[in-house]
């Protein structure tokens, strides 16, 4: 039998007006796989992630996630998006709600849970990110690391099949990065499929199954972390790895 990928993106092109940002990207991700995406600024990493849950409409190509054709106009996109969690660089927590409110909103309005059910599920999700005692705090009362963990809880409470992370630690003070990576690592241990755009090379080395290097709207090279970091075959990959390791 043919191996079934949980994420299957083929031939993705994306244009922003005259700008050709994705130039035919193929990305297949297996269940339980953790894929790291690296590449220079502007290479299209965020755009690729956003095409996977159709926050961005690809100009052409196909995206199938967990058997659902994301680009089919007949697909109930709001239903499909529940299965794809997304974590943003800037957290994007709702500042007018408590941590609990942030997590329960979609549980109630999209998943249709009662308030009591949603509260219970949300508390469980907050516990998983180590913030059970912060349920009643608003984002303004939380540190950056805590905010990002609430954002992760907001996604995992919906029991997604795939999680997308777009530079989840880039906006954090260095001493807060560890707590977020810790949560991501524990998520990985539960078998969550994850696609992570990040430059946390240490994390990539010991947690990623595969590293994908993008440049100029294309996947240039991919493979196990050791191969990509120690032995890149392409000149552009080598230059990029050298550059970030010097920093």
Q: Which residues bind other proteins (CB under 8 A)?
A: 53, 55, 78-82, 84-86, 88, 90, 92-96, 105-106, 109-111, 151, 154-155, 158
Alpha carbons 138 and 93: distance in angstroms, whole number: 9
Closest CB to other proteins among 157 and 207?
157
In 3D, which of 167, 157, 212 has the Cα closest to residue 187? Answer: 157
- List the single partner that 47 binds among ligand ATP, Mg ion, other proteins, none, CB under 5 to 8 Å by kind: ligand ATP
Question: Interaction with ligand ATP in 19-38: which residues (CB under 6 A)?
Answer: 19, 21
What track of x and - describes contact with ligand ATP for positions 46 through 65 (by CB under 6 A)? xx------------------
Closest CB to other proteins among 135 and 204?
135
Torsion from C-alpha of 166, 167, 169, 170, nearest 10 degrees? -140
Q: How far is the CB of 182 from Mg ion (least distance, A)?
A: 23
Closest CB to ligand ATP among 41 and 206?
41
Q: How far is the CB of 40 from ligand ATP (least distance, A)?
A: 7
The residues that touch ligand ATP, with contacts defined as CB under 6 A, are: 16, 19, 21, 39, 41-47
């Amino acid at each position: 039998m043919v191996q079934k990928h949980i994420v299957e993106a083929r031939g993705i092109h994306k244009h922003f007006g005259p700008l050709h940002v994705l130039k035919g990207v193929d990305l297949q991700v297996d269940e339980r796989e953790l894929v790291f995406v690296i590449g220079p600024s502007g290479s299209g990493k965020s755009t690729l992630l956003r095409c996977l849950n159709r926050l961005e409409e690809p100009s052409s190509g196909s995206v199938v996630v967990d058997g659902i054709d994301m680009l089919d106009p007949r697909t109930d996109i709001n239903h499909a998006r529940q299965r794809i969690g997304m974590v943003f660089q800037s957290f994007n927590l709702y500042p007018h709600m408590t941590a609990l409110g942030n997590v329960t909103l979609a549980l109630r309005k999209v998943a249709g849970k009662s308030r009591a059910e949603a509260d219970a599920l949300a508390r469980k999700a907050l516990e998983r990110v180590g913030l059970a005692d912060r349920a009643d705090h608003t984002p303004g009362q939380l540190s950056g690391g805590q905010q990002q963990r609430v954002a992760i809880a907001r996604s995992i409470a919906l029991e997604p099949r795939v999680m997308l992370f777009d530079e989840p630690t880039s906006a954090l003070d260095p001493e807060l990065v560890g707590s977020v990576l810790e949560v991501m690592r524990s998520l990985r241990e539960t078998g969550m499929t994850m696609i992570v755009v990040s430059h946390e090379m240490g994390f990539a080395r010991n947690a990623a199954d595969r590293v994908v290097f993008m440049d100029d709207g294309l996947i240039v090279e991919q493979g196990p972390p050791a191969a990509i970091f120690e032995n890149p075959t392409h000149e552009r990959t080598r230059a990029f790895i050298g550059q970030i390791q010097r920093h």
